[in-house]
Structure formats: C-alpha cells, structure tokens
Structure 1
Amino acid sequence: MQEKGKLKKILSFLGPGFLITVGFIDPGNWATNIEGGSRFGYTLLWVITLSTLMLMVIQHTAAKLGIATGKSLAVNIREHLPKPITAIVGLTVVGACVATDVAELLGAAIGFQLLFRLPLWFGALLTVFLEVFLIVGQRYHKLERTIIGFLGVIALCYLAELILVKPDWGQALPSFVVPRLSSSSIYIAMGMIGAVVMPHNIFLHSNVIHSRQWGIDDKEKLSLLKYERIDTTTSLVLGLLVNGAMIIVAAKVFHGNGLVITSIEEASKTLVPLAGPLAGFFFAVALVFSGVGSSVTSSMAEVNVITGFLGQPEDPKTLLYRVATFVTAIPSFLIILLGMDTYKILIFSQVILSIQLPFTLIPLLYLCRKKKIMGAFKSSVLEFSAMIGISAVVILLNMYLLYSTFSGGV
C-alpha cells in the first residue's frame, strides 16, 4: 500500500517538465532534425542524446531556483539584480519569446496548410484562437493535462511513422551513444544543440514548478526537488525519443533515397510518395500539435516574464495578462502577409534565441550560487562547475551558429 501511495504521488507530480518538453520538440527543432537526418543519416543521433543531458541539468537548476525561493526566475532577477541589468534581460527575453512564438505559429500554420489546405494566415489565426482559449479559458492543471495529451499525440504519430518506414535499427540505435562527426556535419550538429536550450523554457520551468509547491520548509522542498527530478528526467527522455524519431524517419526516407530536404513543406511532400500517404498524414498531425502546444507554452512563458519583470500579478483576469497573450502573434502575421520565406524565418528565430541565451543562463548561475537567495539549496561547487561548463558550451555553440548565419553559413 505504501508503494502504491508513493507511485500515486509521483504520477500526480508529473506535468511541469512535460510543458517544457513541448518546447523541446517545437517546429524550430523540426527544421534542424529533418536537415540533419536527410543529410547525414543516423550519424547525428548522439547529438540529441548529448543536448538532452545538458538540458536536464539546466532545467533542473531553473526548477530548483523556483522551489527554493517560491518565485520564478523573472521575479528573482527583478528583485536581486540592478535595475539596468534587469531591464536589459527583460527586454531580451521578451524578444526571445516573440521569436519563439513566431516559429510555433508558423509551424502550426504550415501543419494546418498540409492537413486542410488552409492559407497560412488562416492557420496562424486559428492557432492564436486555440492558444488564447487554452491559456485564458482553462485552469492550469486542465491546461497541463491538455499539453500532455498533445505530447502523446505527437509521440504516437512518430511511433506510427517509425513502423511505416522500417528504419535500420542496427545502425540507428548505436548512433544514439556513439559520437561521429565530420567537417561537413559539425555545423548541423551545433545547430541541433543550440536549438534545444531555449530561454523561454528556462523561465517557464522556474514558474510552473510552483503548481506542485505543497510546503515551505526545507524538508518538504527536498521532497519536491526529488519529484521534480523524476518529472524533468521522464519528460525530457520522451522529448529525446521524439527528436530521435524525427531524425530516424528523415534518415531512412530522405537520406536513404539520396535526398536533402531544406524545408518542412518539402519534407511532407517528399514523404508521401516515398513512405505513403499515411506517413504524410501523421507528419502533418504531429506538426499541428507541436505548433499549437509549443505556442501555448511560449505565451505562458511570455506572460510570466512580462508580469514578473514589471512586478505585476500573473492573473488571467487582468488586462496585462490578456494583452501579453496576444503580443507574440503580431510578427507572425506580418511575416505571412508580407510573403516572407517561412523556412528562413524559422532559422532566424533560432538565431534570436542564441543571442538572448547568455542573458538567461548567466543570471541563473549567479542566483543559484547565492546562499542569501537559495539558502540550503545553494548550488554546490561541483553542481555549479557543471552548470558553468554546460552553459559555456551552449553559449559558444550558439555564438558560432549566430556567426555562421550572418556570415552566410546558413
């Protein structure tokens, strides 16, 4: 009976990490995964394993800050850092949230276009309405269950695709743990790692973890931290498997037929004649759920960031909350109405995230090492050193991605 009660408690805790995982498999990640699989086959699967392990450490640190302080990263930055730094970080992360939502809305719009032949602008508008309904119209725990359901649909779609395309598992499975890198694949590998760690997800996890805050003393916080590790690890492993499945499908269908894919629409059109109409259908359905789900979590992060940095309550009934929910949609509609290249925009949105990333990771590192802020949960020397190393790698790779993009590498 005791074991059953413990399992029930673990299951009741699962949720915050899954919100983060939706952002981990957003349409921006689809582009790098499809290109990596179509160009280099199974060889870059280990990059997904490495980037997921790095992400686990960063997301655990963000959640730990939320548990220790009872406040989100945005609120902690406003309260503990000088005003000029707070203003810079706040403006950059709002910009990153807008860029993220551009990728999510465009991805969902492309999915609706593939499924129902809807114009991009209508698909984006439909996504915004769904997003607002889910965020403003539902209680948090119901929204959380909805997003977990979205993740389930995406995972099932890619499971079905794996069954349809029949990959070479003898090559694929070892590639998850055996590093193979060449001068021609290093750029894509860096892009894949750089696209995984997104600023808005770090802010979001430090906030949504409070939905499981059942006590305030250190013993209860330690218990909460233990369950958080299970939630984060479980959800991100699911994200690893879905991202891996994207690469495996692209490797089998496209690389196996000597094709290099450079856009999501092209991937869908090419998938149908090579793997059948069902594969194309599952691809489009997964893209819609990925775009809608990740646009919801992106807007949740933006609302938390705006209200947190302004020192306002995060209340769905307030005008600020509702306005913040709509802010990120405006650039997407401008892009669609101006007829801009959606694939290039998806890549550029990842570049904007790379610019912002140091502005998120450095304050997180600073705050988690302060005993006055973290108390008994202050990062140990070993934990802090690991975070510095991982953050340095992520930042350097993103800087390289940024440099290569503007120097004509993309």
Structure 2
Amino acid sequence: MSTKPPRRAPLEVLGPGLVTGAADDDPSGIGTYSQVGAQFGYGLAWTMFFGFPLLASIQAICARIGATTGKGIAQNLRQHYPPAVLRVVVLMLLVANVINLGADLGAMGAVLALMLPGPVLLFTVLFGVVSVALEVFVSYARYQQILKWTTLSLFAYVAVVFVADVPLAEAARSTLVPSFTFDREHAMALVAIFGTTISPYLFFWQAGQEVEEQHRRHIKPLHVSPRRAGAELKRIRTDTLVGMGFSHLVALFIIIATAATLHAHGVTDIASPAEAAQALRPIAGDFAFALFATGIIGTGLLAVPILAGSAAYAVSETFDWVEGLDRKPREAKAFYGVIALATTGGVALNFIGIDPMKALYWAAVVNGLLAPPLMVVTMLIARNRKVMGNLAISSGLEFGGWLSTAVMFAVAGVFLLS
C-alpha cells in the first residue's frame, strides 16, 4: 500500500508564501517604490531583480523552521537562546510593526478620501476596525482564502504599466543591468528599498503560518514525521518562490509605472502613496489613478492583518500564551488582544500629528536595523541539528541565507554611514 501523500491542487500548494510575499507590497512599500520610480526613473529597477533570491532564501528558511519544529521564530528563540535576545527582538518588532500599521492605515484612509470624499481619520479608523474584525471573528480556513484572493489586488499595478507609455528597451536594460551612483540620495534609496522588502514581520508571519497550516491539516511537525519531509519541503519551496517572485514583480511594475509617468513628466518627489495615486491622474488618466488607488486599499487590507498578526505571534510565543488564528477568541484572548492593541496603536498614531512619511521612514529604519541580527539568529536556528534534527537546511539554502544576511548588514552600514 502506497504511503505517498495525496497530490494537492495547485492553488492549495500556494498559501503562506504567496500571502507573505503579497503583504510585502503594503502601502508603505508602494510609497517607497513610487518614490524610487519618480526620483530615479528606471535607474534602480535592478534592485528588484537581484533582491528576489535574497528574500526568497530567508523566507524559505523561516518557513522550514516553522514546518520542521512546529514552532514560530520567537518560540524557538525563547527555548534555545538567552532571554535578553528574545526581549530585544520582540520589542523592536512591536515598535516597527505599530509604526508600519499607522502608516499603512493612514495611507488607506487618505486614498479612500480621494475616491470617496470624507474625513480621512474616520476612514482610517474604519479600516482598522474591519481588519481586526476579520482576524478575530472569521475562521482561519475562510480567512486564509480571503487573504489569498486579496493578493489579486496587486495586479492593479501590472495594469497601470499597460496604460502608461513605457520605453520597454530602457526599462528592461535597467532591470537586468545594475547601475549605481555613490551619493547620499542613492544610498538612502537603497536602504529604503531593502528595508521595505526584507522586513522582520515577514519572518515571523510565514513561520507562524506554517504552524497554522499543520493545525489546519491535523499533521505533525516534520521532525516528528520526517517521511513527509520531501513533499512538504517541495511545497514550501514552490510556495515561497511564487510568493516572493510575485512580490518583486509587482514592486518592479510599480517602479516602472511611476518612472514612465511621474519621472518622465518631472514629478520627482512623492510624499505618500496617496500623492502618488493623485499625481498619476493628470498624466496617465483617471483609469490609471483608479487602478493605483484601488491597489493601495487592497494591499492594505492584506498587509494590516499580517503586521498585527506577526506581532501577536511574537508576543504570544514570548510568554507561552495560547496562539493561532485557528483558535476561537475565547481560547486565545491574549493573542487576539495583541492584534487589537497593535492595530489600535497604529490608528492612534494618525491622531497625534505624526508625519506619515516620517513614520514610514522610521519604520524602514527600524526594520533595516532589526533584520540583520534577527537573520543571524534565524540562520543559527536553521542549521542547528539540536533544533532541526536531520532536516537542518542544505548547504545551498544556507549560502543563500548568509548572503541575504550579509547584504542586509551592508545596507544597514550604508544607512549608518550616510
């Protein structure tokens, strides 16, 4: 009798990796990519092409940790490393996530106010309430499907490129052939791109979602049932490559779209994602504006729950609380409480007069500084046979993970020097 697991439908293979990759293109990311395209044209498009394997490597490693150990990043840190390391990491993650939540919710409110006249702060609050309600009261199986289908909103940015007049040869050359000017403006743009793209909340979310998947499918961690490892690791690889590829492709299209429209018409300074959408209207028309604005709201609805959820995973694992979106609210009150508090904190930032672009900037700074040391710890977990057993990462994936870590240290160094 065959013990080979049943084949899963193509869309079932895509889950945590696809959703995590799509969430990487949140409104703050859209603002960063729009500014890069407006300021430098196609000049930094190559960062998306060459950054893809870096993000794919580290996210695949995080997914493998969750699937192999049946525990998230914070729980593995708590069990295998000094308490001080865990506290610092989780505190910095919380600060970065709340700032990011505030910036994303504010951008969504501002964009909706462009489409449907009304008070920006009211729209911001409503988006926060909707996001929390979906996470708390919708079952995990249905919520996962909602997140998966919400990723389709990112195709709005692909459509913008097709309604803009893009010089294809120049765009392709800039994407495939790196060029860089060593000045302050380019250095800060590079930090912003990588700080936005390789963010710690993605590490915690994807690892946590692999654990959720095991609960949903009623299967054991891979270190307990190693016979399933081959099929599961193949699924993780496919899911992560597709998800991170989708993320980088959309980011590339945002840079190309804003380079072909805003930069080409002398608009080189964008203060917010909403301003990017508004600036497109007189240049590329109402249709391009509507696509761009709708994409910001759609990606925000995808990213906000993930930012709040990754904070909840980290805090719950730190204190060994009951966690998981598959749990009923009464079973995991503290877990859902963190989701509500983190989102409320993000909403509150919009009421105290903090400049949204400064909030985005400092979120990118904290993410950029937190990512390298966290990546080191993640790599140590992934290659530790006491943690991973015989499923410690391969030499090829280890090389990719350490290369990603080295690049992020270099990026952090560029920021500190500049």
Instruction: Using structure 2 for the length normalisation, give the TM-score.
Output: 0.90
Match of 1:299 among 302, 308, 312: 308
Deviation, 1:232, is: 0.7
- Please give the per-residue CA displacement for 1:227-281, whole angstroms capped at 9, x wherever unaligned: 1110111111111121011001111001111220222233222211111111111
* In structure 2, distance between residues paired with 1:324 and 1:211: 18
Distance 2:373 2:187 in 1: 25
- Residue 357 of structure 1 is matched in structure 2 by 371
Q: Name the residue aligned to 2:262.
A: 254
Identity fraction in percent: 22
Deviations 1:40-86 (A, max 9, x none): 21121110112221000000010111111111111111111122222
Do structure 1's residue 187 and structure 2's residue 188 form an aligned pair?
Answer: yes
Q: Secondary structure at the match of 2:43?
A: coil
Query: d(CA) in 1 for partners of 2:348 and 2:264?
Result: 38
After the TM superposition, which of the residue ranges 227-236 and 216-225 deviates more from structure 2?
A: 216-225
SS at match of 1:328: helix
Greater shift after overlay, 116-125 or 210-219? 210-219
Alpha carbons 2:62, 2:203 under 8 Å: kept: yes
Matched-pair contact (CA < 8 Å) for 1:99–1:353 = no
Cα deviations by residue, 1:2-42 (Å, 9 ceiling, x for unpaired): xxx97744431211112211331012212221111112211
Q: Is contact 1:13–1:212 with CA below 8 Å preserved after alignment?
A: no
Contact 1:190 1:401 in 2 (8 A): yes
| Amino acid paired to 2:200 | P
Structure-2 residue corresponding to 1:105: 105
Cα deviation for residue 151 of structure 1 reads: 1.2
Which residue does the alignment assign to 1:376?
390
| 1:8-407 equivalent positions in 2, closer than 5 A | 8-155=8-155, 157-184=156-183, 185-213=186-214, 214-215=219-220, 216-264=224-272, 265-314=274-323, 315=327, 316-317=329-330, 318-401=332-415, 404=418
Aligned to 1:181, what secondary structure does the other structure show? coil
- Asked whether the equivalents of residues 92 and 359 of structure 1 are also in contact (C-alpha less than 8 Å), the reply is no
Match of 1:407 in 2: none
| TM-score w.r.t. length of structure 1 | 0.91
CA 1:135–1:174 in 2, change beyond 3 Å: closer, same or farther? same
RMSD across aligned C-alpha pairs, in angstroms? Answer: 2.0
Distance in 1, Cα, partners of 2:16 & 2:189: 30
Question: Do the aligned partners of 2:191 and 2:368 also contact (CA within 8 Å) in 1?
Answer: no
Task: Kindly state the Cα deviation for residue 401 of structure 1 after the two structures are TM-superposed.
Answer: 2.8
**Cα distance change, pair 359–105 in 1 and its aligned pair in 2 (3 A):** farther
**Structure 1 CA distance for aligned equivalents of residues 154 and 397 of structure 2:** 33
Unaligned runs of 5+ in 1: 405-410
Q: Kindly state the Cα deviation for residue 88 of structure 1 after the two structures are TM-superposed.
A: 2.1
Unpaired runs of 5+ residues, structure 2, are: none
Question: Greater shift after overlay, 336-345 or 224-233?
Answer: 336-345
1:408 is matched with which residue?
none
Task: Supply the distance in 2 between the matched residues of 1:210 and 1:9 (Cα, whole angstroms).
Answer: 20
Deviates more, 1:359-368 or 1:223-232: 359-368
Are the aligned partners of 1:102 and 1:328 in contact in 2 as well (CA < 8 Å)?
Answer: no
Distance 1:160 1:17 in 2: 23
Q: How many residues are treated as equivalent by the alignment?
A: 399
Does the residue aligned with 1:182 lie in a helix, a strand or coil? coil
CA-CA distance at 1:340 after TM superposition: 2.6
**Distance in 2 separating the partners of 1:205 and 1:197:** 13
Contact 2:102-2:348 within 8 A present in 1 as well = no
Check the 8 A contact 2:45/2:174 in 1, yes or no.
yes
CA change 1:171–1:402 in 2 (3 A) is same
Partners of 2:345 and 2:90 lie apart in 1 by: 19
CA contact (8 A) 2:108 2:300 kept: yes
C-alpha spacing 1:153/1:385, structure 2 compared with 1 (3 Å): closer
**Structure 1 contact 355–399 (Cα < 8 Å) conserved:** no
